[in-house]
C-alpha cells in the first residue's frame, strides 16, 4: 500500500514536472513565435504587392537590434537610464522602427526599383547581395562581438523578477512585454490594412497591380509604404528579440530565413497567415528543442519549409493561385 502510494506520488510529481516542462516550452514557443510573426509580416507585405522575396529583411531586423542597442546607450544604458524604464523601452522600439523604415525605403529605392521590370531572378539576387552588404558593413563598423542590452540591470532586474506564475512556471515581465507588444502591433497592422484608405490601396495593388494603377492608385507610393511598414515591424521585432538575447552582425540571415519560413507556412502574402505561421514555427522549434534534440531544431524548421512548399505551397491561410490558361 505504501509502495503504491509512493508510486502514485512519484507519478504525480513526474506528471507535474512534465506539465511544467510543457508549459515552459509553450511559453518559449509563444515568445519566439511572436517575433517570427512580426518578421513574417514584413515578408508577406512586400511579397503581396511586389511578388518579391526580400531576403534583406532579416538584416533589417538585425539593424533594428543595433539601433535599439545604440539608443539604449544614448539614453544612459541599462544601469543608469535617464528616463523611466517604460519610456526607455518605448523610445528604443520607436527609434528602431524609424531607423529600419528609412533603411527599408533606401533598399527599395536603390536595390529593387531599378529592377522592377527585370526578370524575377534579378531582384532576388539583388536582395541576397543587399543582405550580405548590410551584415558585413555592420560587422565592419561595430565589430563581431555580441551586443547585450543587459535588461537584467534595468530597475534591479524587475523585468525578470516581476511577472506571474502558471503553476510552477514563471511568466516574467520581459516575456509579457515581448508577446503583448507583438500582438498589439499585429492588430494595429490589421486595422491599418483593412480600415484605412492606404490599406485599401495596398490590398488593391496586391490583387492586381495594373488595374490598381489604372484606377488612379499611386503604385510607387504603395510599394514604398509596404516597405516602410514591413521594415518598421522588423525593427520592432529586433528590439523585442534583443531585450532577451544578445545580438551580433550576422544574426539576421538565419532569423530572416526562419521569418521567411513562417511566412510560407502561414501563406505568403497573407497577414493572418504570417501570424499563424510565426506561431506554428515558434512552437515547432521550442517543442523540438525540448522533446527531441536541441541539435535538430533548425533542421526540423527547414524540413517543415520544404514540406509546405511541396504539398501546400499556398500555406495554411493563403489562397491557391489560379492562372488563366
Partner 1 sequence: MKKRGGLVLALAVFAAAALASTAGAGSSAVTRSQAVSCKSTLKLGMVAPFTGGAGFLGNEQLSWAKYAVKTLAPKYGLKIKLVTGDTPVEQGPAPAQTLAQKFVADKSVVAVIGPSTSGAVAASSQVYRDAGLAHISESATRTSLTKGSALEATSAFFRVVPGDYIQGPTDANFMIKKGAKNVVVIDFQEPYSQGLADAAENVLDKKGVTTTRLSIANTVTDFSSFVTKVPSSADFVFFPTQKPGDAQNFAQQLIEQGKKAKVFGGDGSNDATQFKVPGSFVSNFAPDITGIAYNKPLIAGWQKDNPGKAVGSFGPPTYLAVQVALNAIKRACDAGKGSIKERADVVRNVKRIFVKNSILGGDFRFSTKSNDPLNAKFYIFEIQSNGSYKLVG
Nearer to partner 1, 107 or 174 (CB): 174
Using the contact rule CB under 8 A, the part of the chain among 4-12, 49-57, 216-224, 282-290 near partner 1 is 282-290
Reference 63, options 14, 36, 97; nearest CA is: 97
Whether the Cβ atoms of residue 214 and residue 237 lie closer than 8 Å to each other: no
Nearer to partner 1, 114 or 167 (CB): 167
Using the contact rule CB under 8 A, the part of the chain among 42-50, 143-151, 259-267, 268-276 near partner 1 is 143-151
Reference 231, options 262, 210, 258, 252; nearest CA is: 252
If one asks whether residue 148 binds partner 1 (CB under 8 A), the answer comes out as yes
Q: Which residues pair with 172 in a beta bridge?
A: 163
Q: How far is the CB of 204 from partner 1 (least distance, A)?
A: 39
Using the contact rule CB under 8 A, the part of the chain among 101-109, 111-119, 186-194, 294-302 near partner 1 is 294-302
If one asks whether residue 134 binds partner 1 (CB under 8 A), the answer comes out as no
Q: How far is the CB of 157 from partner 1 (least distance, A)?
A: 7
As a whole number of angstroms, the distance between CA 169 and CA 300 comes to: 26
If one asks whether residue 10 binds partner 1 (CB under 8 A), the answer comes out as no
Identify the three-state secondary structure at position 116: coil
Helix ranges (H only) for the chain are 2-50, 57-74, 85-107, 121-142, 158-161, 173-195, 197-207, 209-214, 219-242, 252-266, 271-287, 297-311
Nearer to partner 1, 21 or 209 (CB): 21
If one asks whether residue 70 binds partner 1 (CB under 8 A), the answer comes out as no
Reference 266, options 304, 233, 232, 229; nearest CA is: 304
Contacts of 218 (CB under 8 A, 6+ apart): 201
# chain residues binding partner 1, by CB under 8 A: 39
As a whole number of angstroms, the distance between CA 181 and CA 295 comes to: 30
- Give the phi and the psi of residue 220 in degrees, each rounded to 5: -60, -40
As a whole number of angstroms, the distance between CA 189 and CA 229 comes to: 8
Nearer to partner 1, 20 or 155 (CB): 20
If one asks whether residue 143 binds partner 1 (CB under 8 A), the answer comes out as yes
Handedness of CA 20, 243, 56, 191 (dihedral sign): positive
Window 230-269: residues binding partner 1 (CB under 8 A): 244-248, 251
Site string for partner 1, 151-170 (x = CB under 8 A): xx----x--xx---x--xxx
Using the contact rule CB under 8 A, the part of the chain among 22-30, 49-57, 80-88, 268-276 near partner 1 is 22-30
Where on the chain is the footprint of partner 1 (CB under 8 A)? 17, 20-21, 24-25, 28, 31-32, 143-146, 148, 150-152, 157, 160-161, 165, 168-170, 172, 174-175, 244-248, 251, 285-286, 289-290, 294-295, 297
Amino acid at each position: 500500500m505504501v509502495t503504491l502510494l509512493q508510486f502514485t506520488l512519484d507519478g504525480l510529481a513526474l506528471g507535474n514536472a512534465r506539465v511544467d516542462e510543457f508549459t515552459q516550452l509553450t511559453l518559449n514557443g509563444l515568445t519566439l513565435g511572436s517575433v517570427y510573426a512580426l518578421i513574417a509580416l514584413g515578408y508577406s507585405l512586400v511579397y503581396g504587392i511586389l511578388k518579391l522575396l526580400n531576403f534583406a529583411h532579416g538584416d533589417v531586423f538585425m539593424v533594428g537590434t543595433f539601433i535599439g542597442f545604440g539608443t539604449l546607450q544614448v539614453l544612459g544604458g541599462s544601469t543608469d537610464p535617464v528616463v523611466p524604464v517604460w519610456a526607455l523601452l518605448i523610445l528604443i522600439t520607436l527609434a528602431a522602427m524609424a531607423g529600419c523604415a528609412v533603411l527599408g525605403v533606401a533598399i527599395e529605392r536603390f536595390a529593387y526599383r531599378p529592377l522592377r521590370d527585370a526578370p524575377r531572378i534579378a531582384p532576388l539576387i539583388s536582395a541576397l547581395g543587399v543582405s550580405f552588404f548590410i551584415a558585413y558593413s555592420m560587422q565592419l563598423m561595430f565589430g563581431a562581438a555580441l551586443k547585450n542590452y543587459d535588461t537584467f540591470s534595468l530597475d534591479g532586474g524587475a523585468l525578470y523578477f516581476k511577472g506571474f506564475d502558471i503553476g510552477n512556471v514563471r511568466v516574467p515581465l520581459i516575456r509579457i512585454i515581448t508577446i503583448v507588444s507583438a500582438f498589439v502591433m499585429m492588430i494595429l497592422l490589421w486595422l491599418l490594412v483593412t480600415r484605412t484608405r492606404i490599406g485599401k490601396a495596398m490590398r488593391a495593388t496586391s490583387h492586381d497591380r495594373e488595374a490598381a494603377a489604372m484606377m488612379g492608385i499611386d503604385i510607387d507610393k504603395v510599394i514604398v509604404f509596404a516597405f516602410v511598414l514591413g521594415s518598421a515591424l522588423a525593427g520592432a521585432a529586433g528590439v523585442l528579440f534583443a531585450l532577451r538575447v544578445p545580438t551580433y552582425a550576422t544574426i539576421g540571415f538565419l532569423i530572416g530565413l526562419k521569418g521567411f519560413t513562417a511566412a510560407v507556412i502561414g501563406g505568403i502574402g497573407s497577414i493572418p497567415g504570417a501570424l499563424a505561421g510565426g506561431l506554428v514555427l515558434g512552437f515547432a522549434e521550442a517543442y523540438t528543442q525540448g522533446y527531441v534534440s536541441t541539435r535538430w531544431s533548425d533542421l526540423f524548421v527547414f524540413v517543415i519549409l520544404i514540406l509546405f512548399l511541396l504539398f501546400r505551397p499556398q500555406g495554411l491561410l493563403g489562397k491557391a493561385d489560379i492562372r488563366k490558361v
